[in-house]
C-alpha cells in the first residue's frame, strides 16, 4: 500500500467542489435509527468499534482523504456492519447536502476528534471547525443532541470551544474540560497521546432549544 498524505488542504480547488452525498435511506437498511456523525474519521477504527457496540444507532464517518475512506469501507464490509458507512467529502462544502435530508431529531451525536491543528496562523482558515460548519451542524441537531470535541492541542481546543459557545445554540456540559473520555471507545490518536503521558483536552456541548 502506498503512503497516504497526512495533510490535505481543504481550500484547494478540487476539495471545493461540492458533492451530493447519498441519503441515509441509500446507506442504511434501518435508516430511521438515530445518527452518530464522526467528522474527520481518519482510518475509521473508532467508529467501527462504536458501530459494533451500538447497533441501535447508525454511524457515519466523513473524511477528506479518499484512500482512508476506501480502506475503511473495505473493513466495514468484511465485518458486515450494516449500521456503519464512510463517505469521502470535504464537510465544509458538502455536509449541508446530507443534513438537509435528515428528519428532525435524527442527528443525536456529532464527534470531532483530533482535527488537524494547522499551527501556522496563515493556515487557521483551513481548520475544520469554522462558523459555516458549526451553522450547518446547529441547524441539523435537535435540542438535546451532543457535540463532542477533543484534541491534544490546547490552543485549538480553546478556539473550538469558544467558537461553539459564541454560536449561542449549545450549552457546555460540565466540567469545562473532561478528564476522561465519556465515550466507550478511544481513537487511535487518543491512545497514542495518553500512552506518551500527554494530556488530552475534551469538551462536550448540548444543543439547546432555538
Q: Which residues are catalytic?
A: 116
Cα–Cα distance for residue pair 145/68, rounded to 1 Å: 28
- Gyration radius (Cα) of the chain, Å: 16
Cα first-last separation, the chain: 48
In angstroms, the CA 81 to CA 72 distance is: 12
**CA-to-CA distance for 114 and 41, rounded, in angstroms?**
10
- Exposure of 172 by Cβ count < 10 A (0-12 exposed, 13-18 middle, 19+ buried)? middle
What is the spatial order of strands in the sheet that 58-63 belongs to? 84-88, 58-63, 35-39, 107-113, 146-151, 201-207, 170-172
d(CA 139, CA 207): 10
Measured between alpha carbons, how far is 202 from 151 in angstroms, rounded to an integer? 7
* Per-residue cell: 97: 447536502
Residue indicated by cell numbers 470535504: 90
Amino acid at each position: 500500500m502506498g503512503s497516504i498524505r497526512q495533510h490535505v488542504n481543504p481550500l484547494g480547488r478540487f476539495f471545493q467542489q461540492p458533492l451530493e452525498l447519498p441519503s441515509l435511506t441509500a446507506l442504511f437498511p434501518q435508516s430511521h435509527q438515530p445518527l452518530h456523525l464522526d467528522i474527520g474519521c481518519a482510518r475509521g477504527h473508532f467508529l467501527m468499534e462504536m458501530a459494533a457496540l451500538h447497533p441501535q444507532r447508525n454511524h457515519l464517518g466523513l473524511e477528506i482523504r479518499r484512500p482512508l475512506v476506501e480502506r475503511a469501507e473495505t473493513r466495514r464490509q468484511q465485518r458486515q456492519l450494516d449500521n456503519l458507512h464512510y463517505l469521502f467529502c470535504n464537510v465544509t462544502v458538502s455536509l449541508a447536502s446530507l443534513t438537509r435530508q435528515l428528519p428532525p431529531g435524527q442527528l443525536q451525536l456529532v464527534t470531532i476528534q483530533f482535527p488537524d491543528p494547522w499551527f501556522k496562523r496563515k493556515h487557521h482558515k483551513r481548520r475544520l471547525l469554522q462558523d459555516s460548519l458549526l451553522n450547518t451542524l446547529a441547524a441539523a441537531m435537535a435540542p438535546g443532541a451532543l457535540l463532542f470535541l477533543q484534541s491534544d492541542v490546547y490552543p485549538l481546543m480553546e478556539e473550538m470551544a469558544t467558537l461553539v459557545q459564541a454560536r449561542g445554540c449549545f450549552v457546555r456540559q460540565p466540567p469545562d474540560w473532561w478528564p476522561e473520555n465519556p465515550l466507550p471507545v478511544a481513537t487511535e490518536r487518543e491512545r497514542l497521546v495518553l500512552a506518551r503521558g500527554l494530556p488530552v483536552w475534551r469538551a462536550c456541548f448540548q444543543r439547546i432549544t432555538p
